[in-house]
Amino acid sequence: MSVTAALGFVASGCHAGVKRRRHDMAMIATDDGKPVTAVAVFTRNKFFAPPVGVSRKRLADNGGRAAAIVVNSGNANAGTGAQGYADAEAMCAATAEAVGCARDDVLVCSTGIIGTPLPMDRILAATPKLAKKLSIHGSEEAAKGILTTDHVPKEAVVKGSTFTVGGIAKGCGMIAPNMATMLAFLTTDADVSRDELQAILRDAANRTFNTLNVDGATSTNDTMILLASGRTGKPDLAEFADAVHKVCEDLTWQMARDAEGMTKMVTLRVTGAASDEEARIAAKAIAENNLVKCSWYGSDPYWGRLLGAAGSAGIDFDPDKAVVAYGGIVVSKAGTSAPHDEAAVADHMKNQRINIEVALGLGTGAAQVIGIDLGPGYIKENSVTS
């Protein structure tokens, strides 16, 4: 169990026919149909999908509560205009009727192909079946139901001293730091106020999901939702925040390992920047640079591409002060090559997980991103739309 590990939650998943064969719908709900505290973080993409608009407005209007979340994969219901909003509302209404809660207490998410209307006949026919399948044992089925090009479901659980936090996520492409970077659904049985829960969720997102940069693309449908049943009472807030962070961190690395075409995962740290913001800008520029990503794919410690990306990022930059290290081994100082153990660096570059530091030598600003290499697998995955 993951998203149903916390007291008060049930889940299910099924194949409704949105996709040819694989699971393509999921539902998460309270076990009694009553609403609980709900918070979310949504995409900042201005071309957001109708489900994002519906769920965002619902939480704003109802004071932050939900009794159920309904999700379809295989079709993003994005770029679908007024009909898309009507279809998202229809999914909420059908879920409310099937679960036995108010429509205003249902949130909706979609993920998949952009610009194609939802096959509502199949979705509405499957919704009552999803509700009947709701169970504390349904977390894996729900995790399968939200996947698109993912290869494996992603689940995580952390048990605190008095509470549990669990979650599922999907995402392996069209991921860049601008929250929510994918779909993620978390639950807890801790009793935490809406404002505290929102702050904890946003902080966790910034420290985990927002550090993952697969391809620099921010999705139209990115949503992260956290539901809190309150069944186990008030937790130690520091312990609880740490648990939420750990669940998100676990899911983030699972997403990185499943990234489209991935052969290398890179923990890239930019240090010594003039500010944290400038460090973030430089780290993002490096992680999204196709020449850099290709060098990662080729296990090539091509430090010049890293500095070239940082130097063109529009931040304070002095090559005479810059230092680059792969796996803790300095390969470049003052904008030129530094004597180093080439065999040791080559061994490090053979790993699936690579550590790189670009130290700018200008201040105390620092940032970290998780980057992914660029190879034939990514191009093959994204050269077709279905």
Residue 376 reports pLDDT greater than 90? no
Query: Does a structural domain hold residue 376?
Result: yes
Q: What is the pLDDT of residue 374?
A: 82
* C-alpha to C-alpha distances, 298 to 253, 304, 345, nearest whole angstrom: 21, 15, 13
Q: What is the pLDDT of residue 297?
A: 93
Residue 307 reports pLDDT greater than 80? yes
Exposed / middle / buried, residue 47 (Cβ in 10 Å: 0-12, 13-18, 19+): exposed
Mean pLDDT of 19-42: 96
Residue 384 reports pLDDT greater than 80? no
Q: Which range, of 10-14, 26-30, 193-197, 250-254, averages the lowest pLDDT?
A: 250-254
Mean pLDDT of 179-203: 89
Neighbouring residues of 68: CB distance < 8 A, sequence distance ≥ 6: 27, 28, 29, 30, 33, 95, 96, 99, 101, 105, 106, 107
Question: Domain with 367 in it: what CATH number?
Answer: 3.10.20.340
**In this structure, how many other beta carbons lie within 10 angstroms of the beta carbon of residue 322?**
23
Select, from the ranges 131-145, 165-179, 219-233, 255-269, the one with the highest average predicted confidence (pLDDT).
131-145
Percentage of the residues of the chain whose pLDDT score is greater than 90: 78
**In this structure, how many other beta carbons lie within 10 angstroms of the beta carbon of residue 380?**
11
Tell me: do 362 and 248 sit in the same domain: no
Q: What are phi and psi of 258, to 5 degrees?
A: -100, 10
Tell me: do 287 and 218 sit in the same domain: no
Query: Does a structural domain hold residue 4?
Result: no
Contact 76, 38 (CB under 8 A): no
Q: What is the dihedral of CA 286, 205, 354, 300, to 10 degrees?
A: -20
**In this structure, how many other beta carbons lie within 10 angstroms of the beta carbon of residue 161?**
10
Mean pLDDT of 16-21: 94
What is the distance between the alpha carbons of residues 88 and 244, in angstroms, rounded to a whole number?
A: 28
Q: Which of 230, 257, 284 is the last residue of a domain?
A: 257
Residue 239 reports pLDDT greater than 70? yes
What is the distance between the alpha carbons of residues 249 and 157, in angstroms, rounded to a whole number?
A: 11
Tell me: do 208 and 274 sit in the same domain: no
Exposed / middle / buried, residue 356 (Cβ in 10 Å: 0-12, 13-18, 19+): buried
Residue 298, Ramachandran bin (φ over 0: left; ψ between -120 and 50: alpha; else beta): alpha
Chain position carrying tokens 């800008």? 281
The SS3 call for residue 150 is: coil
Tell me: do 253 and 344 sit in the same domain: no
Mean pLDDT of 286-301: 92
Q: What is the pLDDT of residue 17?
A: 95
- Tokens linked to 256: 């990185």
Q: Whole-number mean pLDDT of the chain?
A: 92
Nearest to 24 by CA among 136, 160, 118, 137: 118
Query: Does a structural domain hold residue 210?
Result: yes
What is the distance between the alpha carbons of residues 77 and 125, in angstroms, rounded to a whole number?
A: 17
What is the distance between the alpha carbons of residues 368 and 208, in angstroms, rounded to a whole number?
A: 10
Q: Which of 257, 289, 323 is the last residue of a domain?
A: 257
Query: Does a structural domain hold residue 73?
Result: yes
Q: pLDDT tens digits for 81-128?
A: 999 999 999 999 999 999 999 999 999 999 998 999 999 999 999 999
Neighbouring residues of 105: CB distance < 8 A, sequence distance ≥ 6: 35, 62, 65, 66, 67, 68, 96
What residues make up the domain containing 284? 265-382
Tell me: do 324 and 213 sit in the same domain: no
Q: What is the pLDDT of residue 378?
A: 67
Catalytic residues: 181
Tell me: do 269 and 253 sit in the same domain: no
Tell me: do 277 and 194 sit in the same domain: no
* C-alpha to C-alpha distances, 17 to 27, 49, 80, 119, nearest whole angstrom: 16, 21, 19, 8
Residue 329 reports pLDDT greater than 90? yes
Q: What is the pLDDT of residue 217?
A: 54
Tell me: do 312 and 242 sit in the same domain: no
Tell me: do 28 and 157 sit in the same domain: yes
Query: Does a structural domain hold residue 2?
Result: no
Nearest to 240 by CA among 186, 294, 162, 299: 162
Tell me: do 279 and 370 sit in the same domain: yes
Mean pLDDT of 152-159: 96
* Per-residue pLDDT band at 206 (split at 50, 70, 90): confident
* Per-residue pLDDT band at 173 (split at 50, 70, 90): low
User: Residue 169: is the preceding peptide bond cis (ω within 30°)?
Assistant: no
* Per-residue pLDDT band at 1 (split at 50, 70, 90): confident
Question: Domain with 221 in it: what CATH number?
Answer: 3.60.70.12
Q: What is the pLDDT of residue 109?
A: 97
Q: Which of 223, 257, 291 is the last residue of a domain?
A: 257
What is the distance between the alpha carbons of residues 22 and 30, in angstroms, rounded to a whole number?
A: 25
Give the sign of the dihedral formed by CA 308, CA 314, CA 323, CA 349: negative
H-assigned helices in 298-332: 303-311
Domain count, the chain: 2
Contact 281, 314 (CB under 8 A): yes
Q: pLDDT tens digits for 240-267?
A: 999 999 999 999 888 877 776 678 889 9
Residue 179 reports pLDDT greater than 50? no
Please, which residues bridge with residue 69 across strands?
Answer: 28, 107
